């Protein structure tokens, strides 16, 4: 007989659309638990994230009642995490403990004293032991890949182990990767055969499956397979009645058996994450390396030594994510003694919008917008004032300016541009725009879709190959710089809008990412740079100051080169789908009712204006997402020796 622990992880990110919650509930969470209720001998360990529990409490309270009933019957074990599903390794220890205790308190309300943690994205680092123990946690669930990365062989991974840090000890259960790919994608018989193969007479041996609940109905093709074709009922029926399988919960196992011994796990997550977290060029090489090992039939033998990146690499890979994360950390420290403000900080720690794998993550504007809203609301409880320091830890100082209504953060060394302009009244960051990047999965081989396992079951989203549609490929462009407000361009007068928006034009100056000198005053600053345009000396000076309803910036540009001077404003327009356009105006309005709201750009002289949507291509569980990350507005003037103009940004409430 072999022991078997079956677990699910149910999560919807903060800021996700209500219809997504509702669809996931109807297609997965509800039918799964209702089916479980029909099989009293079946046991499940379940983790529900805080954002999902809040939605269920407000919209489907009967589901909470069902969970309470299943706990009472002994069919359900509640496994917790940080309430708002943070990657625990990426937040301060004080916040980790509070996040875990919040979810433990919720578990108590449905009748369960939780002692175990589902580790978000299974991101492990050794010093988590102390935080978990401080929160009263006795066991944690990670992948078998973590153990293999520590040097253990696969045959040693059918038991939990202890791990230790600083004298604190916790039990660690390994999730079986083979089960993750069998359940629920292959016929039930395949899982039973595998579990039976593990039965060698050792009564302490345990196989653990614990994975996304969304695989049971939300992922493509799974609702029909799991429910309509009866996979889940057959699975529950056969597993719970099989005399060679002993269904257990984590707590039951630990009450009967001791962990096998002591291990020390390295910083790790699941195997796929080690690919996704690498910079794109390295991720491509990583995939090529794995495919080469597979062709030579060496991968399974040597995979224990194949390691890619770690989760925190995403802060290197996506500077926009890094800046958002470091702003969250800055605010967390500033409001640590303010319970009301801390609730907003904890929400801003929800993991999804900080990274990207097979789901949209950082590329989904509505998820980033939710984090920014909570960062800004938390920040508004304290006055940070004006300061100069390295906020995002890139080794270069930012200039932070605050008044009653706005936060403005400049990067003088990066074009003297405005990289955050946040409204306290609207709780939005007008520059929440991510740059267009090449990702390694943009290069899809012709034979990208593997054959399903003898045609049986349904393909996992990890197995789905995807060809980029031609209509997307025609519009695909990659940026050579980050997106900000008040970025200074010098371009050839003959340049067209299409050349500009598709990044097929020539930048004549060195001002976009060049360093500006600056001097700070009470509610603004002056930035200036002596650079070159087409090899000739040029100078740009811009004086910025906050106003009650936005900001004003006065420009002086000096250059003898024949060029157009453009000031680009990248605004986080997410709910109105824009098309490229060219027009002349002294003022124009931007109206994004479900995003940044309404603003007006005013000039003191007529300018040519180029606007176009900034669209990124990312993969998702449903295929390709070609997403509008914002809209670029560039005001253009001919340079003739000296150019002076004023630009005003007005927030319209």
Q: For 592-602, how does the pLDDT look when each residue is reduced to its tens digit (9 = 90+)?
A: 999 999 999 99
Residue that has been written with the tokens 């000890």 in this structure? 169
Backbone angles phi, psi at 388, to 5 degrees: -125, 115
Considering only CA atoms, which of 405, 320, 319 is closest in space to residue 367? 320
Q: pLDDT value at position 445? A: 54
Q: Is the pLDDT of residue 122 over 80?
A: yes
Q: Within 13 Å of residue 234, how many CA atoms lie on the same side as its CB? A: 16
pLDDT in the model for residue 582: 97
Using pLDDT thresholds of 50, 70 and 90, give the confidence band for residue 446. Answer: very low
H or E, element range at 559 = strand 550-559
Sign, Cα dihedral of 63, 65, 71, 74: negative
Q: In this structure, what CATH number is given to the domain that contains residue 66?
A: 3.20.110.20
What long-range pairs does 403-409 form, CB within 8 A, spacing at least 24? 403/523, 403/546, 405/546, 405/548, 405/549, 405/651, 406/546, 406/550, 406/551, 407/376, 407/379, 408/544, 408/546, 408/551
pLDDT of residue 455: 59
CB burial string 197-236: b at 16+ within 10 A, e below = ebeeeeeebbbbbbbebbbbbbbeebbebbbeeebbeebb
Please count the structural domains in the chain: 2
Q: Nearest-5° angle of CA 326, CA 92, CA 131?
A: 155
Query: Residue 461: is its pLDDT beyond 90?
Result: no
Task: Tell me, yes or no, whether 373 lies in a domain.
Answer: no
pLDDT band at 522 (very low <50, low <70, confident <90, very high): confident
pLDDT tens digits, one per residue of 626-646: 999 999 999 999 998 999 999
Closest CA to 400 of 326, 467, 462: 326
Residue 452 has pLDDT above 50, yes or no: no
DSSP calls for 284-321:
HHHHHHHHHHHHTT-HHHHGGG-----GGGHHHH-HHH
Assigned domain for 33 exists: yes
269, 299, 316 — which closes off a domain?
A: 269
Residue scoring higher pLDDT (214 or 384): 214
More confident residue, 619 or 9: 9
Instruction: Tell me if 151 is assigned to some domain.
Output: yes
**In this model, does residue 184 exceed pLDDT 80?**
yes
- Structural domain includes residue 350: no
pLDDT for position 465:
54
pLDDT-based confidence at residue 451 (cuts at 50, 70, 90) = very low
**Among candidate residues 237, 252, 269, the one where a domain is terminated:** 269
Give the CATH number, domain containing residue 488: 2.70.98.10
Q: Residue 25 pLDDT more than 50?
A: yes
| pLDDT above 70: percentage of residues in the chain | 97
The verdict on residue 414 lying in a domain is no
Q: Which of 249, 251, 214, 231 lies closest to 35, judged by CA?
A: 231
Asked whether residue 616 is assigned to any structural domain, the reply reads yes
Q: What is the mean pLDDT of residues 37-44?
A: 97
- Model confidence over 416-430: pLDDT tens digits? 999 999 999 999 999
> Is-catalytic flag, 443?
no
Residue that terminates a domain, selected from 269, 302, 329? 269
Q: What pLDDT is attached to residue 453? A: 47
Whether omega before 395 lies within 30 degrees of 0, making that bond cis, reads: no
Q: Taking residues 139-148, what's their average pLDDT?
A: 95
Total residues found in the chain within this entry: 653
Q: Find the catalytic residue in 37, 94, 212, 560.
A: 212
Give pLDDT, residue 349: 98
Q: pLDDT class for 450, splitting at 50, 70, 90?
A: very low
Catalytic residue among 77, 85, 121, 143: 121
Q: How confident is the model at residue 448 (pLDDT cuts 50, 70, 90)?
A: very low
Q: Looking at beta carbons, which pairs linking 299-302 to residues 24 or more positions away fall under 8 Å?
A: none
DSSP 125-181: -TTHHHHHHHTT--EEEEEHHHHHHTT--GGG-SS-EEEEETTEEEEEEEE-HHHHH
Instruction: Say if 365 falls within a structural domain.
Output: no
Per-residue confidence (pLDDT) for residue 619, from 0 to 100: 87
653: which DSSP letter? -
pLDDT tens per residue across span 569-591: 999 999 999 999 999 999 999 99
Q: How far apart are CA 314 and CA 319, in angstroms?
A: 8
What confidence tier does 568 reach under pLDDT thresholds 50, 70, 90? very high
Rounded to the nearest 10°, the torsion over CA 342, 423, 14, 309 is: -90
Instruction: Tell me whether residue 608 is in a domain.
Output: yes
Q: Average per-residue pLDDT in the chain?
A: 94
pLDDT of residue 189: 97
156 and 304 Cβ atoms separated by less than 8 Å: no
Tell me, yes or no, if 113 is annotated catalytic: no
What's the mean pLDDT in 385-414?
97
Domain of 161 in residue numbering reads as 2-269
């Amino acid at each position: 007989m072999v022991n078997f622990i079956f677990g699910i992880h149910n999560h919807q990110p903060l800021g996700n659309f209500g219809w997504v919650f509702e669809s996931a509930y109807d297609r997965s969470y509800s039918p799964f638990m209702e089916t479980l209720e029909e099989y009293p001998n079946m046991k499940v360990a379940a983790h529900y994230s805080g954002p999902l529990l809040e939605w269920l409490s407000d919209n489907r309270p009967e589901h909470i009642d069902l969970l309470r009933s299943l706990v009472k019957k002994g069919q359900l074990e509640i496994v917790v995490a940080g309430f708002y599903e943070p990657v625990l390794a990426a937040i301060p220890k004080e916040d980790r403990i509070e996040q875990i205790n919040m979810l433990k308190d919720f578990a108590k309300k449905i009748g369960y004293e939780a002692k175990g943690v589902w580790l978000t994205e299974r991101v492990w680092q050794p010093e988590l032991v102390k935080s978990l123990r401080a929160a009263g946690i006795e066991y944690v669930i990670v992948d078998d890949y973590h153990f293999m990365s520590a040097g253990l062989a696969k045959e040693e991974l059918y038991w939990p182990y202890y791990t230790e840090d600083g004298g604190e000890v916790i039990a660690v259960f390994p999730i079986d990767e083979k089960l993750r790919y069998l359940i629920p994608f292959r016929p039930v018989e395949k899982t039973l055969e595998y579990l039976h193969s593990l039965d060698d007479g050792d009564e302490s041996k345990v196989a653990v499956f614990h994975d996304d609940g969304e695989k049971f109905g939300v992922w493509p093709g799974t609702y029909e397979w799991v429910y309509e074709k009866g996979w889940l009922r057959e699975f529950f029926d056969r597993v719970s009645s099989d005399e060679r399988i002993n269904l257990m919960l984590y707590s039951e196992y630990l009450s009967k058996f001791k962990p096998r011994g002591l291990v020390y796990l390295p910083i790790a997550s699941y195997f796929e994450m080690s690919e996704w977290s690498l910079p794109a060029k390295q991720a491509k090489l990583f995939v090529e390396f794995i495919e080469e090992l597979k062709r030579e039939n060496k991968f399974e033998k040597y995979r224990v030594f194949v390691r890619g990146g770690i989760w925190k690499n995403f802060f290197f890979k996506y500077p926009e994510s890094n800046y958002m994360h470091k702003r969250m950390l800055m605010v967390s420290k500033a409001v640590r003694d303010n319970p009301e403000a801390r609730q907003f900080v904890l929400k801003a720690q929800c993991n999804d919008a900080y990274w990207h794998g097979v789901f949209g993550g950082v590329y989904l504007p509505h998820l980033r917008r939710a984090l920014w809203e909570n960062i800004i609301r938390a920040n508004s409880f304290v006055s940070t004032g004006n300061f100069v320091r390295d906020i995002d830890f890139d080794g270069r100082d930012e200039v932070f300016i605050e008044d009653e209504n706005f936060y403005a953060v400049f990067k003088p060394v990066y074009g003297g541009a405005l990289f955050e302009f946040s409204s306290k009244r609207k709780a939005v960051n007008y520059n929440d725009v991510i740059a267009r990047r090449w990702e390694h999965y943009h290069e899809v081989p012709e034979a990208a879709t593997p054959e399903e396992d003898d045609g049986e079951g349904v393909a996992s989203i990890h197995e789905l190959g995807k060809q980029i549609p031609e209509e997307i490929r025609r519009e695909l462009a990659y940026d050579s710089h980050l997106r900000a407000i008040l970025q200074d361009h010098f371009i050839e007068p003959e340049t067209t809008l299409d050349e500009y928006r598709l990044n097929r034009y020539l930048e004549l100056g060195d001002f976009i990412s060049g360093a500006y000198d600056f001097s700070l005053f009470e509610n603004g600053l002056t930035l200036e740079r002596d650079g070159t345009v087409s090899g000739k000396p040029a100078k740009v000076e811009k004086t910025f100051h906050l106003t009650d309803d936005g900001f004003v910036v006065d420009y002086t540009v000096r250059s003898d080169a024949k060029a157009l001077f453009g000031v680009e404003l990248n605004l986080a327009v997410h709910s109105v789908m824009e098309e490229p356009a060219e027009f002349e105006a002294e003022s124009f309005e931007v109206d994004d009712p479900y995003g940044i709201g309404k603003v007006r750009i005013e000039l003191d002289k007529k300018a040519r204006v180029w606007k176009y949507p900034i669209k990124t291509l990312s993969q998702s569980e449903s295929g390709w997402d070609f997403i509008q990350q914002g809209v670029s507005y560039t005001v253009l003037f001919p340079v003739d020796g000296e150019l002076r103009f004023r630009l005003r940004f007005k927030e319209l409430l």
